[in-house]
């Protein structure tokens, strides 16, 4: 097992000692308010756009490429906002929200590693949807496998990701990219 090497040893998350390997809902909300990674750095979106309820595991080793992994979950409830409008009498979670959750998690990983700046999705090379999330389902699980972190003018993460509903894989994304920008 390799030892942790931060992207920036002076990053607020590293200095504060709040770098953990799991985060609950209240901690994710705190991140959305800018309290986890420091002013001007990565934030998660707040509800209703926050697309997971907890991070079960975040580690800088492991995953398919042994470069780091994140596992997060979203509890499915019939009253979730998107079921009310997408679509009437045919409620389904929009696929773009699952994809956005994957990007959210990659950005979180970069900041958790000590990367500074505001996170922005930069794309991906292939996205597949083979199923859907409906109100009768119980749980979505996201699995993010980091492939590479590039540190140049910006910090960029490259990852493969999957989304499962009740244990069945229904989304896959390859070469998903997120950057942290210090100047916007």
Q: Could you tell me which of 66, 74, 147, 65 has the C-alpha nearest to residue 106? A: 147
Task: For 78-140, give the DSSP string.
Answer: TT-HHHHHS-TTS----HHHHHHHHHHHHHHHHHHTT--SEEEEEE-SEEEE-----TT--EE
Among the options 21, 33, 65, 86, which is catalytic?
86
Between CA 117 and CA 155 the distance in angstroms is 8
Contacts for 6-11: CB closer than 8 Å, 24+ residues apart: 6/113, 6/114, 7/110, 7/113, 7/114, 7/115, 7/116, 7/149, 7/151, 7/155, 8/114, 8/115, 8/116, 9/114, 11/37, 11/38, 11/41, 11/111, 11/114, 11/115, 11/116
DSSP state of 23: B
86 is catalytic: yes
Instruction: List the catalytic residues.
Output: 86
């Amino acid at each position: 097992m390799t030892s942790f090497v931060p992207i920036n040893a002076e990053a607020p998350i590293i200095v504060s000692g709040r770098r953990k390997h799991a985060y609950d809902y209240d901690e994710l909300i705190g991140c959305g308010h800018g309290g986890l990674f420091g002013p001007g750095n990565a934030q998660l979106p707040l509800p209703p756009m926050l697309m997971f309820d907890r991070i079960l595991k975040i580690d800088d080793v492991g995953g398919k490429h042994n470069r780091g992994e994140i596992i997060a979950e979203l509890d499915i409830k019939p009253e979730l906002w998107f079921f009310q409008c997408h679509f009437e009498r045919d409620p389904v979670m929009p696929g773009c929200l699952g994809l956005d959750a994957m990007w959210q998690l990659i950005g979180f990983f970069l900041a958790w590693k000590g990367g500074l700046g505001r996170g922005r999705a930069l794309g991906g090379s292939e996205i597949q949807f083979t199923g859907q999330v409906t109100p009768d389902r119980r749980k979505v699980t996201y699995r993010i496998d980091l492939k590479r972190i590039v540190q140049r003018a910006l910090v960029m993460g490259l990852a493969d990701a999957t989304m499962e509903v009740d244990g069945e894989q229904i989304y896959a994304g390859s070469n998903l990219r997120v950057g942290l920008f210090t100047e916007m």
